[in-house]
Amino acid sequence: MENLNSLVIFTRAVEAKSLTAAARSLRISASAVSKHIARLETSVGAPLFNRSTRKLVLTEYGKLLYQRCTRAVHELEDAQTSLKGMNRGLTGTLRMHVTPGIGQRFVEPAVVQFMKRHGDLSLDLSMSAEILNPLDHGYDVTIRSGSSEDRNIGHSSLSYREFGPLRYLICASPEYIKNHGIPAEPRDLVKHNCLVQKTQDSDTGWWFLGPKGKYSVPVSGNIVSNSHTTIYEAALAGLGIARLMTFEANEARNLGKLKFLFEDEIRSERLIRAFYPRTNPASEKVRRFLDFLSEHLAKGNHIE
């Protein structure tokens, strides 16, 4: 804990790519920054910057330390800023970009409820399938789903918040079950007509959790589409077994139109994340919306 302030200064220096620039942003002297870096190097027992070049270049030790501590440092800064603004009303404009799938199904309903609570706030929401960096397009936050290999994770100019894996449900209509029976276990899905939605992660390999851990079952069928509506309607019509998002699957089950299979064994490899600029710590409006979205996703059982 005695090195926490030095870690903050080290992180700022890495991101500013200059000890002098870090000193200006922190409103302390350049010599004070140098002393904190030296103290940190003494503590870890290794040099963090390569002094043989004019540029600020991290050593292997420096890269490792930055990777390990950067997210924690920014979360502490965000928490501090959040507490300062907790009692203030939200004003200005929240500029947001979302991708169509999770945008229409999860983010838009949450946005509507959030805006009802904050009448002085304006919203500018864009939706497209593009994977955008908020810094390049002037957004406060971008929200999308993706794999663990999302290219913006670890981006030096972006922070991100992870909400958890999307929750899927394997569904079949009573008509399909009557005509084709129920697969006894997930691996039996290879013997059934599965309806494949191409926009889902691991679309032809559905993930499950067994006694020995996660495993994938290859699936295929006579209907493949990038439209979730097509897959949903085909499942209702008894044409095959589908992997659907929770909101549409729950609604159909409540009406007796679909039954769930292997409900406790399904696993997802796709995560919902929000990205926002790191250079300017997340504003109060962004933080409070992301907190609200997290509650919305959890209440609807949309994430595992």
**Is the domain of 176 the same as that of 255?**
yes
Share the mean pLDDT of the chain. Answer: 84
Would you give per-residue pLDDT tens digits along the chain (304 residues)? Answer: 457 888 888 888 887 778 888 888 778 888 888 899 898 888 888 899 886 656 788 898 888 888 878 777 766 766 665 555 554 567 888 999 998 878 888 899 999 999 999 988 999 999 988 888 887 788 889 998 876 666 556 666 788 888 888 888 999 999 999 999 999 999 999 999 999 998 777 788 998 988 888 899 999 999 999 888 899 999 999 999 999 988 778 888 888 999 999 988 888 777 889 998 875 555 788 989 999 999 988 887 777 6
- Report residue 279: phi and psi, to 5°: -65, -30
Determine which helix (DSSP H) or strand (DSSP E) holds 145, and give its type and residue range.
strand 141-146
The CATH number for 226's domain is 3.40.190.10
* Beta-ladder partners of 274: 143, 161
CB 275 within 8 A of CB 74: no
Q: What per-residue confidence (pLDDT) applies to 1?
A: 47
Q: Among residues 42, 61, 84, which one ends one of the domains?
A: 84
Q: How many domains does the chain have?
A: 3
Structural domain boundaries enclosing 58: 4-84
The answer to whether the pTM exceeds 0.75 is: no
Q: Among residues 27, 50, 84, which one ends one of the domains?
A: 84
**Is the domain of 15 the same as that of 76?**
yes
* 304 belongs to a structural domain: no
Residue keyed to tokens 């493949």: 224
∠ CA 223-262-296, nearest 5°, is 85
Q: What per-residue confidence (pLDDT) applies to 189?
A: 97
Task: Please provide the distance, in angstroms rounded to a whole number, between the alpha carbons at the two ends of the chain.
Answer: 33
CB 231 within 8 A of CB 225: yes
Task: Write out pLDDT tens, residues 236-280.
Answer: 999 999 999 887 788 888 889 999 999 888 887 778 899 988 755
- The total number of residues written for the chain in this structure: 304
**Is the domain of 172 the same as that of 262?**
yes
Task: Write out pLDDT tens, residues 195-221.
Answer: 999 877 778 899 898 888 889 999 999
Q: What per-residue confidence (pLDDT) applies to 192?
A: 97
Nearest CA among 44, 69, 51 for reference residue 34:
51
Based on the number of CB atoms within 10 Å of its own CB, is 98 exposed (0-12), middle (13-18) or buried (19 or more)? buried
Gap between the Cα atoms of 153 and 148, Å rounded: 8
What percent of the chain lies above the pLDDT cut of 70?
A: 88
**Is the domain of 258 the same as that of 212?**
yes
Gap between the Cα atoms of 234 and 6, Å rounded: 59
Q: Among residues 41, 62, 84, which one ends one of the domains?
A: 84
